[in-house]
Structure 1
Amino acid sequence: MRILLINVPHPSIGSRIPDDHLPPLGLLAIGGPLIDDGHEVRLVDGELKPMTVADLVAAATDFQPDAVLFGHSGSTSGHPVIAAVAAGIAQALPGAFIVYGGVFPTYHWRDILAAEPHVTAIVRGEGEETARRLMAALHAGAPLADVPGIAFRDATGPRATPPAPMIQNLDAYRVGWELIDHAHYSYWGGLRAVVVQFSRGCPHPCTYCGQRGFWSRWRHRDPVLFAKELARLHREQGVKVINFADENPTSSRKAWRAFLEALIAEDVDLVLVGSTRADDIVRDADILHLYRKAGWVRFLLGLENTDAATLALIQKGGGIDTDREAIRLLRRHSILSMATWVVGFEEETDADHWRGLRRLLAHDPDQIQMLYVTPHRWTPYYQLAAGRRVIESDRRRWDYKHQVLATRHMPAWRTLAWVKFTEAVLQLRPKALRRTYLERDARLRHAMRWYAKIGRRVWPHEILGFLRRPPRDTGTTVADMWGPPQDREEYAMAPSPRRPAEAREPA
């Protein structure tokens, strides 16, 4: 079959403001197994220019594919763009199969299949094996009901097949790196870059997380084979920056240490960036020198909020003292910390924002990323947020960088003012300026200046965007907009996983 993979341009600020673009790992992970099955596969990355809907339809028409596969890491906020492109391609190529995968369609399959008749099938959960089986069935004209892990439409309407088995061996499926020209992708200020996954899933029970149930439970790749792949990308393709897409790559100390030692043995000069939990950093205090030697330059730490009551509400785990200690340990080993802080909880007041700012200053992270709480229908947190009023009905803005929910005690403009004030204080305080412009370590100085450059563009952009199109309370609730909760369907793949705490590997 001729198969076209399409990565649509994402409307989020994070995609449009930076000059760098990263390759679409999810689609490349699907592409590798399909190539190995003998299909002719091509990727069109609409993020690069970015391409318009008409551009993408024209590219698909030129290729004349038998099947068009969509997927996007932006998921919820990317769906309206995918829907428009898919509809255009279906009109131009009525004989092509339209297949859609990712987190959002995994859970919203009923809505999509009911509203978008041109969608042939939806892949639910991780897609490497399911996409192979689905393409084989479509090629042979076999019944789709026999393919586990999909949703499709039959005479009775939208229906889902039984969940696909969770992939146990992540090394059994290769990433289709040959589908991209590595020269087109960069990060960290123009350095050639890729996105990778050492692990999938997270063993922690945070109630707001939209990824936990999608991956079902935490698993990791073979540490040595993974290190060899990164080294090969560096030597053969000139890749310099490795951006980890893992939710929590360090969950197993044993596996993580094995990876660090294997990468050090490869002796390649890489810049590693990604996310982890503060308690894992504290746990690994005695091996953080290996992190640095392997190439780690920055970790994003999901502090989420510095208020103990809020952390308990979302079952974040960890604690304020642990977060502060993790930042201190990273700095001691010349690794930058980026702290995320989520605002927009229903009972927030000015006093809460002021207290949060003071605690962030006490934590002293190198960089800060402010986010707005954004409920997903398939998470336990949705139950708590279902009755809250929506102030942003444009689904393209449900990207964590726009206010979407009203708070009880504060208008939206004041929440924005606190966010912008907090960002300015954290990034313009003397300590941050010294690290940005006077840091002796060239790698850290480059990273701080690059992030400051992006911040100078994003900060006013968000204010102007708010003023041009301020949020508006129409009286609609979250449940009115998105429908009933789906937290009973949170786990997407079979077999039913053990509880997250039990699924965590021993250290």
Structure 2
Amino acid sequence: MSENIMLVNPPARLDRQIVQPLGISSIAGQLKRAGYSSISIIDGCYLVKKHGYERSFQIIREEIERTRPFVVGCTLHSSILEETERICEDAFRVDSHVIIGGHGATACHEVSAMNFYTRARACNSSSITAVVRGEGEETAKQLVDALFQRRSLYGIQGVTFHDGNGVVVNPDRELLDMNTLEPPAMDLLPPADEYGGWFNIEESRGCVFHCSFCSIRGMYPVARLKDPERIRIEVEQARELGAEKIYLTGELTLLDTGRAIAISDIMKSYGLQWSTSAHPSLISKAKSILPALKDSGLVCLEVGIEAGSQRSLDVFNKGTTPKKNRLAMMILEREGISHW
């Protein structure tokens, strides 16, 4: 068994532009800071784009068999459960330890712990399996430390695992300070032009809204904004890696207009186009600064309209109305900012 750590974003059937997997990239950055040097990231969605869906699994399986990683970390969302299971079973067959994380893993952590433990045993593997709940940078680092040092997983905050007798749910981990984390290891991913020149940068975690269908608050119970200076550091890194356009992941770029202007100044200074997401109410609140944001390179806003009837909006707990939604769209159209 090697000392390699492999982090995998599973293949998915694509009908959209692929984006860099920020979660596992952020974990890779923290592991690099901790001194782990043999880290690889496989973006299955990129492989699907280049080689097709089924061939992507073959490529990942061949890489697992070739490198026999000590640890394989894999993202789990509800829409890619089968894909994640396929990759983990390949890892079990070479006795790699497996860490699962992401929104789906967090929402169903006990079921996931049982599922992947059972699959490991069905593969006649002695692999240790564990689920990371919530944000994973520090939790994954401590898990990897424990696995390399042959220590038990009991007490590692934010971890759920099966110990052979049943599922163990360790205490929750306190939320992290986003501004102290290592920047995501985007250098381990394919070049920016493979993603249409776009580069993902996280601007916030959590949300101030309470939409009934959303999993964000399950991952990040408290809304936190990344400092503009920290965003500048990541923008500079992105520019060095060939980024032409930045997508700020998060819903809260427009929450604080002063911060939004500071971020837009950063984008303008690097000559980058950029895009982000916003609740309709934030667009109306920030309408006075939208001309400046467009001048800085803002080309598009992804807007969470969700529904056209008040009844549906109320069911979704959107905190808006069809009239307010139309007003937000009119503001964007007046300023010449694309939206979808």
Q: TM-score, normalised by structure 2?
A: 0.89
On the 8 A contact 2:206/2:221 being kept in 1, the answer is yes
Alignment partner for residue 316 of structure 1, among 318, 327, 330? 318
Q: Secondary structure of the residue that 1:251 maps to in structure 2?
A: coil
For 2:106, give the aligned amino acid.
Answer: T
Contact 1:5 1:44 in 2 (8 A): yes
After superposition, the C-alpha distances for 1:433-472 in whole angstroms (9 at most, x for unaligned) are xxxxxxxxxxxxxxxxxxxxxxxxxxxxxxxxxxxxxxxx
Match of 2:217 among 212, 225, 231: 212
Once the two structures are TM-superposed, the CA of residue 228 in structure 1 deviates from its matched residue by 4.0
Confirm or deny: 8 A CA contact 1:171 1:222 kept in the other structure: no
Q: State the distance in 2 between where 1:133 and 1:271 align.
A: 37
Select which of 160, 165, 169 maps to 1:160: 169
8 Å CA contact retained: 1:4, 1:42 = yes
Partner of 2:57: 53
Larger radius of gyration between Structure 1 and Structure 2:
1
Q: Give secondary structure in 2 for the equivalent of 1:166.
A: coil
Contact 1:202 1:217 in 2 (8 A): yes
RMSD over aligned CA atoms reads 1.8
1:103 maps to what in 2?
Answer: 103
How far residue 325 of structure 1 moved from its aligned partner, in angstroms, is 1.6
Any conservation in 1 of the 2:204–2:226 contact (CA below 8 Å)?
A: yes
- Greater Cα shift, 255-264 or 55-64: 255-264
Q: What is the match of residue 203 of structure 2? A: 198
From the superposition, tell whether residues 304 and 21 of structure 1 become closer, same or farther in structure 2 (CA, over 3 Å).
closer
Higher relative contact order (CA 8 A, sep 6+): 1
Q: Does 1:169 align with 2:178?
A: yes
- Does structure 2 retain, via aligned residues, the 8 Å contact 1:2–1:65? yes
Partner SS, residue 213 of structure 2: coil
Q: Is the 8 A contact 1:44 1:59 kept in 2?
A: no
Q: SS of 2:134's equivalent?
A: coil
Work out the CA distance in 2 between the residues paired with 1:154 and 1:228.
41
Residue of structure 2 aligned with 1:151, choices 152, 160, 170: 160
Deviation, 1:10, is 0.8
* Structure 1 counterpart of 2:52: none
2:23 corresponds to: 26
Alignment correspondent of 2:227? 222
Question: Secondary structure of the residue that 2:47 maps to in structure 1?
Answer: coil
Matches within 5 A, 1:238-277: 238-264=242-268, 266=269, 268-277=270-279
CA drift of 1:184 comes to 5.3
Answer whether contact 2:29 2:184 (CA < 8 A) is retained. yes
* Matched AA of 1:99: I
Q: Which residue of 1 aligns with 2:286?
A: 284
The answer to whether the 8 Å contact 1:22/1:185 transfers is: no
Assess if the C-alpha contact under 8 Å between 2:201 and 2:234 holds in 1: no
Amino acid at match of 1:172: L
Aligned in 2, Cα 1:171/1:324: closer, same or farther, shift over 3 Å? farther
For structure 1, list consecutive stretches of 5 or more residues without a partner in the other structure: 339-507
State the 1:172 CA deviation.
2.5
How far residue 209 of structure 1 moved from its aligned partner, in angstroms, is 1.0
> 1:112 and 2:112 equivalent?
yes
Deviations 1:111-170 (A, max 9, x none): 222222226101000001111111111111222112100111114311210011101233
Structure 2 unmatched runs, 5+: 49-54, 121-127
Q: Which amino acid aligns with 1:218?
A: A
Q: Is the 8 A contact 2:33 2:182 kept in 1?
A: no
Following superposition of structure 1 onto structure 2, how do residues 24-103 of structure 1 map, counting pairs within 5 Å? 24-39=21-36, 40-50=38-48, 51-72=55-76, 75-91=77-93, 93-94=94-95, 96-103=96-103
How much has 1:183 moved relative to structure 2? 4.7
Runs of 4+ residues over 4 Å off in structure 1: none
Q: How far apart in 1 are the matches of 2:80 and 2:252?
A: 24
Tell me, what secondary structure is at the counterpart of 2:46? Answer: coil
SS at match of 1:48: helix
> Shift of residue 197 of structure 1?
0.8
2:218 partner amino acid: G
TM-score (norm 1): 0.61
Deviations 1:32-58 (A, max 9, x none): 010111111011222223243332111
Aligned residues: 322
Q: 1:232 to 1:138 in 2, by over 3 A?
A: closer
